Amino acid sequence: MNHLEIYIDGASKGNPGKSGVGVVIYCDNQLIKNISSYIGFTTNNVAEYTALIYALEEALLLKANSLKINTDSQLLARQLNKIYKVKNEGIINLYNRAVHLLSGFEKVLVNHIPREKNALADKLATEAIKKQAECGCPPRLVAGGKSGLQRIT
């Protein structure tokens, strides 16, 4: 896999609230992978960064050289493109992890797109929250918050 185009989204029902991530990965305009995962009780910004990390880890496993990452999170796009500084304690560790993972690629473009062009990733993130609600999965810990971990209820 040389070049991948990736769409990411994080969703929270409440802010903070129950959250999920959605990732859609294309190679040569062919869909190769969808990821939909419940990540627990956290903020929307943490969910957005978590979706990015899921996408970057998967792209490394797929042995991609270059990435085009599409996100409807203006904040995430501007922070990764070094237009905004990361000041929030709840996302600085996630940002640092994402930057570390990004160093594994020769070329990366982070692109802010309108929400309507990110419908599939948004749907996957929302479905993850709905599926968790249906199964009643037990609480767990996720990264985020001032202490670094939050209990999921």
pTM to 2 decimal places: 0.88
% of the chain exceeding 90 in pLDDT: 83
Helix %, strand %, coil % of the chain (to 5): 40, 35, 25
What domains does the chain contain, in order, with CATH numbers?
3-151 (3.30.420.10)
Radius of gyration of the chain (CA): 15
pLDDT tens per residue, range 106-123: 999 999 999 999 999 999
Q: 74-90 burial by CB neighbour count: b if 16+ within 10 A, else e? A: ebbbebbeeeeebebeb
User: What is the amino acid identity at position 71?
Assistant: T
Is the pLDDT reported for residue 149 higher than 60? Answer: no
Q: What is the mean pLDDT of residues 29-39?
A: 97
Q: What is the mean pLDDT of residues 42-59?
A: 98
